[in-house]
Amino acid sequence: MVQRHTRSAFGAAYAFPGGVLDDADADVHDCCTGRSAADANRILDVASGGLDFYVAAIRELFEETGILLAKSARPISDLAAARESLNNDTQSWSEFVRGGDACMLCDQLHYFSHWITPEHLPKRYTTRFFVAELPEGQIAHHDDRELTNSVWISATDALQAGKDGSMTLHYPTRKTLESLAGHQSLDELVNWARARESNGVEATRPHRPGATQ
C-alpha cells in the first residue's frame, strides 16, 4: 500500500500503486510480451487501446515503487538510477524501455476489477485493478514525490487499520482489499484473478443512496 501526498486528489489516503494513461504508452507496444493488442482489448472489453493499460500499469508501478515487470538488459542495481531519470523527466519511458532492451511482461498482470466513479462527482475516474507477483530480487520503495509512505501489509491488516483510523482508505480501495482478503496464498489469489479476467470483469459503478443506475 502506498500513501498519496496530502496535496493529491486522494488527500493522504493509502491506495495501490498506479496512475494515469500516457499518450506515449502506445509507442512501446512492440516491447510487450505475453499479451497481444487483441488479447488486451478482449480482456479489458475495449474496442482498442487495451495494451495501453498494461503498459501504463508497468510504467506507473516502476515510477512509483521501483518494481519493474519486465526483462531488461539493465542489472537490477541500475534500476534505481533509471527510475530517478524517469521521475526527473530527463528520460522518457520509450527511451528507458528501448535503451535497456526491456521486454514488458504483460502476462504477469492479472486483471480483476474495474471501478467507474459516480456521474454526480465533479472529477471522475475509470480505474482498472491488476494483481502481479513481485519479481525476484526487487525491492519496493515509494518515490518520495507523489507518494510519502509505503508499507507491505496484508489485506486483512490494512482493513483493520482503516477501521481503527490509522490508515485512511477510500471506498474503492477498501472494497478491493475485502476481495483480496479472502485468499490465503499468492497462488490462490492469482488463480482467482485469472478466472475473473477469463470470465469477464464487470465494471463497478457506485451511486448515491436512493439514486438509480
Q: Decide if 72 is inside a domain.
A: yes
pLDDT one-digit tens code per residue, 129-166: 999 999 998 999 998 888 889 999 999 999 999 999 99
Please count the structural domains in the chain.
1
pLDDT of residue 118: 83
Q: Decide if 205 is inside a domain.
A: no
Q: Decide if 208 is inside a domain.
A: no
Report the C-alpha gap between 101 and 31 in whole angstroms.
8
Q: Decide if 8 is inside a domain.
A: no
pLDDT of residue 121: 77
| Relative orientation angle of helices 50-65 and 37-44, to the nearest 10 degrees | 90
Per-residue pLDDT of the chain in tens (213 residues, 90 and over written 9):
999 877 766 678 999 999 999 999 999 999 999 999 999 999 999 999 999 999 999 999 999 999 999 999 888 889 999 999 999 999 999 999 999 899 999 999 999 999 998 888 787 889 999 999 999 989 999 988 888 899 999 999 999 999 999 999 999 999 999 999 999 999 999 999 999 999 999 999 886 554 444
Q: Decide if 165 is inside a domain.
A: no
Q: Decide if 170 is inside a domain.
A: no
Question: Which three-class secondary structure state does DSSP give residue 131?
Answer: strand
117 CB-contact burial (10 Å; exposed 0-12 / middle 13-18 / buried 19+): middle
User: pTM for the complete prediction?
Assistant: 0.91
pLDDT of residue 144: 86
Say if CB 205 and CB 213 are below 8 A apart. yes
Q: Decide if 47 is inside a domain.
A: yes
pLDDT of residue 210: 47
Q: Nearest-CA neighbor of 57 among 92, 106, 125?
A: 106
Domain that holds residue 111: 16-145+184-199
Report the C-alpha gap between 104 and 195 in whole angstroms.
22
Q: Decide if 97 is inside a domain.
A: yes
